[in-house]
Chain A
C-alpha cells in the first residue's frame, strides 16, 4: 500500500455504489449528455439575444447614405476592368479609385512558398485608410472584401467591391469618425487576409518560411473590429452572417447581434448557416429546425476552418464577421437594393465607431440555434461535462477494482508470502504509453518525409500524403498481430485507466478551445470506450472480438475518411455509387493535404491535435485489445 492511500478506501458507500452501478451510470451520463445537447435547441432553453455593450448605440442614428447609384457605377466599371484581366486583380484600377477618394492608399505584396513543392505564389492586397478627422489614429475598423477573378470557382464578389468603394466615398465626407477605417481588398481568399494581418501585426502565425507576409507601407491604429463583405449579386435578397473562425473561435456575440439587428431593420432577410428563422407551429418541427441549425454550426465550428475571411481576424483579438449576400434564386426582375445594403454597412460601422473599448461585454463562447437566440457556455458545457464525467467514472471504478482485487489477494497470500510480486509493472506501462505518444508525434510530423519519399517515386503531394497515411494506418492496425504480446490483466487495466483519464482530460482541454470539436469527438469515442472488452482473453466471446474489431473504425484516419465519405454521399446522393466513392476518395486526399497545409499556413491545429493526442489514445486501446491479456 502506498503511503497516501487510505487502506479503508473502497469501502465507502459512494464507492460501493459506483462499483455496483458503474456501467449503467456511465451510459446514463452519456445519454443524459446527449439529451442535454438535443434539449439545447428547445426555445425554452435559449435566451433571446440582447446587447450587452452600452456604447454600441445600435441603430439610433439616422442613416444618411444612399449608395445605390454609386455602387452601380463602380460595379459596371469594375466588371469591364475585370473582363480585361480575367485572371488577376485589377490592382491599378482599384488603387486609382481609392486614390481618387483621397484615401491613404497602399499595396501589400506577399509570397506563399508552398510547403511541399518549393513553388512560389505571389499576391497583392490593396488598402486605403480614412483617418479619423478629430481623433488620434489609435484605433481602426476594417471593411474588407476578398477579390475573386472572373474565373474563380467561388461565387463572385464584385458587387461587394463596388459597395466598398461607394461606402469609402461616403465615409470620406463624414466628420464623426473616431476610429480610422481601413478599406481592404485582398487577393487569394484567406491567404491574402492572413498575410495582411501578419504583416500588420508583424508576426508569423503559421510555420516560418511558408507564408512570407513582408511589411506594410502604412498602418492605422490597433484594429478593433472587422466586417468582411461577400455580396454575390447586385440584388440582395438575404444576408447570411458568418461567424466561425479559425480553430472554432467566434466573434463576440454583440457583434453578431448588431449585424443581425441592422439587417433586419433594413428589411432584408437575415439568416444564419444559410437558414432563415422559420417559426413552425408544431413544436417538434420547430425544435427539429433549430436543432439542425445548431448542428450545422457545431459541425462547421468543429473543423476549425474559417467560413470566411473574418475567421483569421479572431486570432488577433479582433472581432470580425462576414456578411454574405445572396440573390433570391429565380428572381431577376427586381431592382437592385444596394440602398438598403449600404445602409446596413453604414449603421454597423457607425455603431462600431461608437465603441470605446474592444468588445468584451457579451459572450465569446456560445452556440446559436437561430439568428435571435443563443445558448451560453454555462448551458452547453454541461452536456460535454456529463459525457466526459462518464469517462472518469469508468476510470475510477476500474482503478478501484484493481485496488480491491489487490487487497483481497493480499489477504489470501498473507500467510504464504509476505511480499508477492503482484504490483504493477511500471516499466511496461510507461514504455507502452511513451511509445504510443512517440508514434503520434512522429506521424504528426511525417508529411514532410512522406512527400520527400513521394517525390522520389514521382508522386503528387496529395497522393504521397494519402498513400503514406494509408500505409501508416495499415501498419498501426496490423502491428499488434505480428508482435503477439502477453500482458498481465493488471497492467493492461492500468494502461486503460491512464488512457481513459488522458482521453477525458484531452477532451476537456479541446472543449476549452473548440467546444464543437470536443463534443463530436466525445460523442463518437466515449460510448465505445465504455464497452471496450478489457478482460483476460479466456473470457472473450465472439461478441467481444467483434467489439474490439469495431475499434478499428475509430482510427483517426479511418474515421476522418468515413466522415468525408458520408459528407460526399449527402452532397452528391444523386450520383451513382462508384462515382460517389471516387468523389469521396478525391475529397479525402484533398482534405488530408488541406488540413496539413492549413496547420502550416494558418496555424489550424485540427490535424496536429487529433494526431498527437487522439491517435496515441486510440493506439493504447488498440494495443491492449490485441494483446494477449492473462
Chain B
C-alpha cells in the first residue's frame, strides 16, 4: 500500500516535470511545406530573387527539408552576365550571406514560373509524369507557408512581365486546396506593391495572410549594394529575415511577434494582416508551426497495451498452374520452305 503510493507519487512527479507546452501539443498539423515564389525576372529585379532565397534559407535552417520546399525562381541572377560577383546572390550590403549558397534546389526556374504552373502546383493538378520534386504533396495535416514576391498591383501579381494572377484566382485556388483537403493551415506572405489586395478575395478557412503593403502603397526596397549596382532586398523581407534569423527550431516566438516585425517607420509601408480566416490566436501559435518542421510529439503518461498479434493467419495464395508453350515465329515462313 505504502509502496504503491510512492510509485504513483513518482509517476505524478515525472509527468509534471515533462509537461508539454500548451501551445505545442495543440497544433493539429503533421507536416510542413513551403512554396516560395519569385515572379519577376531581369537584372534590376535582383532584390526579388534575394528575397525569396533569403526566406528559403530561413525555412531550410529551421528544418523544412528541400523535398518539402517548392522554390520557384523566374530568373537566374547568380549567372546573369551583369553580375560582378558571379555565382552569388547577396541579400545584404556587406555581402555577409551568400543566399545562393551551395545547396539551393530550385524546383521551377525561368520560364517555368507561370501562373498556370503555380495554380496547378497549389491545386495538385499537375501532369502525372511531373517529377516528385515539382509537386506539392500535401495532405489535410500540412501547414503550408506560401511566400510570393514580385511586382504587384491592385488585385494582381505580375508573373514575368507576361501574365498576372489575380487575387480572385488565387482565392479560388486556395478554396480548391481546402476542398481537396490539401492543407491544414496556410501562412500566406506576399511582398509586392499593393500587396494586401492579394488576400482580400480569400474565403477559405485557416489562412493567415500577411502583406507588405496596403492597397495604394508601394513596397520599397531596403538598400542598394553599390558594388553590385542593384537594390539588394525589399524592406519587408529584410525585417522579416531580421526576425527569423533569431528564431531557433526550439524557440517559442509566436506568430504575433512575426506579424509586428516591420512597423511603418521601418517598412515605409503599412503591413497588412488578415486574421479573420485563421481560427487560432496568433499569440499562441509558434512561428515554427510554419517556418520550421517540428513534428508535434505527444508524450503520454498512460500505459498503452501494445498487443502483439497472437496468431498469424496467413492464407496461401493458390497459384494456378500455367502451361508454357512456344509462340509461332513471326513472320511465319514455314509454308514457304
A134 touches B43 (CB 8 A): no
Q: What residues of B have a CB within 8 angstroms of the CB of A356 in the complex?
A: 42-43
Which residue of A55, A61, A62, A177 is within 8 Å of B81 (Cβ)? A177
Q: What residues of A have a CB within 8 angstroms of the CB of B84 in the complex?
A: 174-176
Contact of B80 with A by CB under 8 A: yes
Q: Mark A577-589, 1 if CB is under 8 A from B, else 0.
A: 0000000000000
Q: What residues of B have a CB within 8 angstroms of the CB of A354 in the complex?
A: 43-44, 82, 229
Q: Mark A168-181, 1 if CB is under 8 A from B, else 0.
A: 00000011111000
Q: Tell me the nearest residue of chain A to B80, going by C-beta.
A: A178
Contact of B227 with A by CB under 8 A: yes
Measured CA separation A133–B80 after assembly (Å): 11
Contact of B294 with A by CB under 8 A: no
Measured CA separation A62–B229 after assembly (Å): 7
**Distance (Å) between the CB of A481 and the closest chain B CB?**
68
Contact of B131 with A by CB under 8 A: no
Contact of A60 with B by CB under 8 A: yes
B229 touches A61 (CB 8 A): yes
Q: Mark A126-138, 1 if CB is under 8 A from B, else 0.
A: 0000001111000
Q: Size class of A's contact patch?
A: 10 to 19
Q: What residues of A have a CB within 8 angstroms of the CB of B83 in the complex?
A: 176
Q: What residues of A have a CB within 8 angstroms of the CB of B227 in the complex?
A: 61-62
| Chain B residues numbered 187-207 whose CB sits less than 8 Å from any CB in chain A | none
Contact of B228 with A by CB under 8 A: yes
**Distance (Å) between the CB of A74 and the closest chain B CB?**
26
Q: Tell me the nearest residue of chain B to A350, going by C-beta.
A: B229
Q: Mark A44-67, 1 if CB is under 8 A from B, else 0.
A: 000000000011010011100000
Prevailing SS type, chain A contact patch: loop
Measured CA separation A57–B84 after assembly (Å): 15
**Distance (Å) between the CB of B88 and the closest chain A CB?**
13
Q: Tell me the nearest residue of chain B to A54, going by C-beta.
A: B44
Q: What residues of B have a CB within 8 angstroms of the CB of A176 in the complex?
A: 81-84
A132 touches B81 (CB 8 A): yes
Q: What residues of A have a CB within 8 angstroms of the CB of B224 in the complex?
A: 60
| Chain B residues numbered 218-240 whose CB sits less than 8 Å from any CB in chain A | 224, 226-231
Contact of A353 with B by CB under 8 A: yes
B44 touches A61 (CB 8 A): no
A60 touches B226 (CB 8 A): yes
A175 touches B86 (CB 8 A): yes
Q: What residues of B have a CB within 8 angstroms of the CB of A353 in the complex?
A: 82
**Distance (Å) between the CB of B46 and the closest chain A CB?**
10
Measured CA separation A176–B228 after assembly (Å): 10
Prevailing SS type, chain B contact patch: loop
Q: Mark A271-300, 1 if CB is under 8 A from B, else 0.
A: 000000000000000000000000000000
Q: What residues of A have a CB within 8 angstroms of the CB of B79 in the complex?
A: 134
Q: What residues of B have a CB within 8 angstroms of the CB of A55 in the complex?
A: 42-44
Measured CA separation A54–B46 after assembly (Å): 12
Measured CA separation A135–B86 after assembly (Å): 12
Measured CA separation A353–B43 after assembly (Å): 11
Measured CA separation A174–B85 after assembly (Å): 11
**Distance (Å) between the CB of A59 and the closest chain B CB?**
9
Measured CA separation A383–B113 after assembly (Å): 49
Q: Size class of B's contact patch?
A: 10 to 19
**Distance (Å) between the CB of A347 and the closest chain B CB?**
10
**Distance (Å) between the CB of B79 and the closest chain A CB?**
8
| Chain A residues numbered 363-377 whose CB sits less than 8 Å from any CB in chain B | none
B226 touches A57 (CB 8 A): no
Known contacts A57-B229, A60-B226, A354-B229; A178 and B44 CB within 8 A of each other: no
**Distance (Å) between the CB of B41 and the closest chain A CB?**
9
Q: Tell me the nearest residue of chain A to B46, going by C-beta.
A: A57
B82 touches A60 (CB 8 A): no
Q: Which of B84, B227, B229 has its CB near the most chain A CB atoms (within 10 A)?
A: B229
**Distance (Å) between the CB of B275 and the closest chain A CB?**
35
Measured CA separation A175–B80 after assembly (Å): 11
Known contacts A175-B86, A176-B81; A62 and B226 CB within 8 A of each other: yes
A133 touches B81 (CB 8 A): yes
A61 touches B228 (CB 8 A): yes
Measured CA separation A174–B81 after assembly (Å): 11
**Distance (Å) between the CB of B240 and the closest chain A CB?**
24
Measured CA separation A621–B80 after assembly (Å): 64
Measured CA separation A178–B76 after assembly (Å): 14
Q: Which of B44, B79, B231 has its CB near the most chain A CB atoms (within 10 A)?
A: B44
B44 touches A57 (CB 8 A): yes
Measured CA separation A315–B82 after assembly (Å): 28
**Distance (Å) between the CB of A261 and the closest chain B CB?**
15
B229 touches A134 (CB 8 A): no
Q: Mark B119-151, 1 if CB is under 8 A from A, else 0.
A: 000000000000000000000000000000000
**Distance (Å) between the CB of A581 and the closest chain B CB?**
58
Known contacts A354-B43, A354-B44; A178 and B82 CB within 8 A of each other: yes
Q: What residues of B have a CB within 8 angstroms of the CB of A135 in the complex?
A: 81
Measured CA separation A353–B80 after assembly (Å): 12
**Distance (Å) between the CB of B45 and the closest chain A CB?**
8
**Distance (Å) between the CB of A262 and the closest chain B CB?**
14
A134 touches B86 (CB 8 A): yes
**Distance (Å) between the CB of B250 and the closest chain A CB?**
41
Q: Which of B81, B227, B231 has its CB near the most chain A CB atoms (within 10 A)?
A: B81
Measured CA separation A176–B87 after assembly (Å): 12
Q: Mark A152-182, 1 if CB is under 8 A from B, else 0.
A: 0000000000000000000000111110000
Q: What residues of A have a CB within 8 angstroms of the CB of B80 in the complex?
A: 178
**Distance (Å) between the CB of A349 and the closest chain B CB?**
12
Measured CA separation A40–B228 after assembly (Å): 41
Q: Tell me the nearest residue of chain B to A134, going by C-beta.
A: B81
Q: What residues of B have a CB within 8 angstroms of the CB of A175 in the complex?
A: 84, 86
Q: Mark A74-93, 1 if CB is under 8 A from B, else 0.
A: 00000000000000000000
Measured CA separation A62–B81 after assembly (Å): 17
Q: What residues of B have a CB within 8 angstroms of the CB of A54 in the complex?
A: 42, 44
**Distance (Å) between the CB of A539 and the closest chain B CB?**
67
Q: Mark A118-146, 1 if CB is under 8 A from B, else 0.
A: 00000000000000111100000000000
Which residue of B81, B228, B231 is within 8 Å of A178 (Cβ)? B81
Measured CA separation A62–B227 after assembly (Å): 6
Measured CA separation A566–B42 after assembly (Å): 53
Measured CA separation A60–B79 after assembly (Å): 20
Q: Tell me the nearest residue of chain B to A56, going by C-beta.
A: B44
**Distance (Å) between the CB of B89 and the closest chain A CB?**
15
**Distance (Å) between the CB of A139 and the closest chain B CB?**
10
Q: Tell me the nearest residue of chain A to B228, going by C-beta.
A: A61
B226 touches A61 (CB 8 A): yes
**Distance (Å) between the CB of A64 and the closest chain B CB?**
9
Q: Tell me the nearest residue of chain B to A135, going by C-beta.
A: B81
Measured CA separation A609–B44 after assembly (Å): 44
Q: What residues of A have a CB within 8 angstroms of the CB of B42 in the complex?
A: 54-55, 356
| Chain B residues numbered 79-102 whose CB sits less than 8 Å from any CB in chain A | 79-84, 86
Q: What residues of A have a CB within 8 angstroms of the CB of B226 in the complex?
A: 60-62
**Distance (Å) between the CB of B110 and the closest chain A CB?**
15
Measured CA separation A609–B197 after assembly (Å): 56
Measured CA separation A354–B86 after assembly (Å): 15
Measured CA separation A61–B225 after assembly (Å): 8
Q: What residues of B have a CB within 8 angstroms of the CB of A57 in the complex?
A: 43-44, 229-230
Measured CA separation A226–B33 after assembly (Å): 50
Q: What residues of A have a CB within 8 angstroms of the CB of B229 in the complex?
A: 57, 60-62, 350, 354
20 contacts between A and B (CB under 8 A): A54-B42, A55-B43, A55-B44, A57-B43, A57-B229, A60-B224, A60-B229, A61-B228, A61-B229, A62-B226, A62-B229, A134-B79, A135-B81, A174-B84, A175-B84, A176-B81, A178-B80, A178-B81, A178-B82, A354-B43
- Seed contacts A54-B44, A61-B228, A61-B229; 9 additional CB < 8 Å A-B pairs: A54-B42, A57-B229, A60-B229, A61-B226, A62-B229, A132-B81, A175-B86, A178-B81, A354-B43
Please list the residues of chain B having a beta carbon within 8 angstroms of any beta carbon in chain A: 42-44, 79-84, 86, 224, 226-231
Which 5 pairs of residues, A with B, have the shortest CB-CB distance? A61-B229, A135-B81, A134-B81, A178-B81, A62-B226
Please list the residues of chain A having a beta carbon within 8 angstroms of any beta carbon in chain B: 54-55, 57, 60-62, 132-135, 174-178, 350, 353-354, 356
